[in-house]
Structure 1
Amino acid sequence: MSKQLIRTIFGEKKNILAVGGHFISVPVKIDATVIVADVAGKKIVPLGSIVDKNGKVVNDGTAFGITYNEIDVTNGTEAVSVVIHGFVDGSQLPVAPSATALTALKQITIL
């Protein structure tokens, strides 16, 4: 029997993009084993999280992109769209990017 895909929508959709029509995103698998569960036992990666190429949430020189959607990896590894080029609204990010993360995100401009 195949694994059933479970998707959960949380509240209203926020948008991290400052310029909606000008961005490039690629799929990245978020490794559920490196995400810490919250008090309810859920493993949620917020939209706007900075991730590396391996799907680990980071804020350093290994930064690859910024998650376009919130993703629940409670049931295991999931793929999420990651913005690698574009203009991002910095007020929508859960954590301000460090100076080294900003340097690594070469094609993303934080407004």
Structure 2
Amino acid sequence: LVYLAAVLGGIMGISMGFFVGSFRIKEGLKMSVVMAVSMTCCFFSGLMSNTMKGTVAEHCPIFNEINPAAVISDSFYCLNLYEDYRRFTVKIISMAIYTVLFTLGGYVLTRRRKYASL
């Protein structure tokens, strides 16, 4: 199950990169957007400061449920701490939904491009 969470988390990250990469902005700005979003998500999920996740859960608990970095880290947390797999299953389903949404968003944004050579 650890491999499932790792692979699905990686696929979710790639689909997020595809989604941001489909924006019609300069390449340097795309890389800046991806770095800013991913580092902000990692910070609020508690990967940079051990007290941040508890603070976010106290003041805005829904944010940890929609934060992609928190979903990935929580999936590993659920495997290590809980006896049942119910919470882990919810996290895996959330990652799959994020993957589908990011991929569909990327396809929608890249679908209507016109190329000069065609």
TM-score (normalised: structure 2): 0.22
Higher-Rg structure is 2
Is the strand fraction higher in 1 or 2? 1
